[in-house]
Structure 1
Amino acid sequence: MAKKEEATLTHNDKTYKISELPEEARKQLLNVQAAESEIRHLQIRLAIAQTARSAYQQALIEALPK
């Protein structure tokens, strides 16, 4: 069976084993990961809104009197 590789964090060219980080550092890492996930979600929502705006603008242009 293949050996499972332990999760690490690299910062300023130094690598840390996540399992060996202090509890506060692990909590903050989870906060960073949650924030990154929310940013990705918001970027998707922004792309959807921008696409909708573009479609509405096009519909407005087509609805203007000639």
Structure 2
Amino acid sequence: MSTIIIDDIAYDLTALSEAAKQQLTNVQAADAEIQRLQAQLAIATTARAAYARALKNALPAAVSH
């Protein structure tokens, strides 16, 4: 018997209605998309930091006034 726990309640997957199974599939797809987007954000954040370092290195030396 496969179960899923939601709000600390265990549910038998085979006993779920088709509507509940579809919503579970939707939640799982949304979770996967959130993970994918978080990975993309981490990549973009790392790239931005590298670009900012490269920009700083490419700027002329600061002149004191």
Backbone CA RMSD of aligned residues: 0.9
Larger-Rg structure: 2
Q: How many residues align?
A: 61
TM-score, reference length from structure 2? 0.87
The one-letter code of the counterpart of 1:26 is: K
Consecutive aligned runs of 4 or more in structure 1 exceeding 3 Å deviation: none
Stretches of structure 2 that go unaligned for 5 or more consecutive residues are none
Query: Are residues 1:45 and 2:40 paired?
Result: yes
Q: What's the counterpart of residue 63 of structure 1? A: 58
CA distance in 1, matches of 2:13, 2:58: 58
TM-score, reference length from structure 1? 0.86
CA distance in 2, matches of 1:52, 1:42: 15
The one-letter code of the counterpart of 2:31 is: E
